[in-house]
Amino acid sequence: MGSVLVFGASGQLGQCLAHVARERSMTDLVFLPEAQANILDPAGLQGLFAQYQPSYVINCAAYTAVDKAEDEVDLARNVNRDGAGNLSRLCAQHNSILIHISTDFVFAGTGNQPLVETDETAPISVYGLTKLEGEQAVAEFTSRYFVLRTSWLYSEYAGNFVKTMLKLGRERDELRVIWDQLGTPTYAIDLAGCILSIIASGNQQFGTYHYSNEGVTSWYDFATAIFELSRTTVKTIPIRTAEYPTKATRPAYSVMDKTKAKTQLGVAIPHWQESLRVCISRLMATEA
């Protein structure tokens, strides 16, 4: 197998890929510094592909500031759509397989049944729209791709909901957390493991897949579990979405069905509570 180029290497998922690659002694991954690996620079990308001749490309680079995207539409679209398209074109030219990360935000979230890959997409935010456009750009330029839609990503690395709750839980007596948005937290270490398993297996059942942890919860119950596992004493108050207005609208229900990933990719997916327990224990060990 040739090299594996990782774009967005300094972000949360990029750092988790490095962590899991070390655990699995996978030495073919090339974690490119952001200055060298600008997905909006086609000429620079062409040089990287020529230099490394990658068998796989993992695109973790994205514009993920959901609320800011409502004002920075062009920037979000440049990164999430055009950057994905640039990588897809080059993957087709160099016969590389692209693994592209997308999101549950491509759905409206107005239903009440777990979402399958073929359900109608109808994003309700600029972020969701530009990520959907990125998926479409990937499929337009190459047929050798895996699009992995994920949700509520957290880990020991970078900024995320779990680390924010732990910080606020230490600083405040009470926290108000939304209870009427339902989804599934995803431990980014688990997602990284899924990505590297796809590569290690040589699986070529290309297409779009859903990957989150198992189960369903609300942000309120997720926060409560974080505080219980970390033994953080803070009062949590459930509130409705309407009581916490944000510039971008979030899906109310974005639980994803993972049957396709489990059957076609052969991955085992832990329950979100099990993975949260692992993450919290690692975070507490680093603080000890």
Q: For residue 61, which amino acid is it?
A: A
Instruction: Please report which helix (H) or strand (E) contains residue 263, including its range.
Output: helix 259-264
- Write down the pLDDT at residue 52: 96
Residues 253, 218: Cα–Cα separation, whole Å: 9
Q: From 196, 188, 94, 124, select the one nearest 150 (Cα to Cα).
A: 188
- Write down the pLDDT at residue 35: 84
- 126-136 pLDDT per residue, tens: 999 999 999 99
The residue ranges of DSSP E strands in 160-251, in sequence order, are 174-178, 182-183, 186-187, 207-210, 217-218, 235-239
Instruction: Give CA 235 to chain center in angstroms.
Output: 29
- Write down the pLDDT at residue 288: 65
Q: Is 127 a catalytic residue?
A: yes
Tell me which CATH code domain 4-159+186-214+256-270 carries. Answer: 3.40.50.720
- Write down the pLDDT at residue 10: 95
Instruction: Please report which helix (H) or strand (E) contains residue 163, including its range.
Output: helix 161-171
Regions of the chain with pLDDT less than 50: none
Of 52, 56, 63, 127, the active-site residue reads 127
Q: From 148, 25, 30, select the one nearest 98 (Cα to Cα).
A: 148
How many helices (H) and strands (E) in the chain?
Answer: 10, 12
Residues 164, 160: Cα–Cα separation, whole Å: 6
- Write down the pLDDT at residue 14: 97
Residues 260, 26: Cα–Cα separation, whole Å: 26
Half-sphere exposure of 239 (CA within 13 A, CB side): 13
Strands 4-7 and 56-59: parallel
Structure tokens of 56? 């796989």
- Write down the pLDDT at residue 286: 87
Structure tokens of 129? 């729209």
**Is-above-0.85 flag for pTM?**
yes
Structure tokens of 170? 């230490």
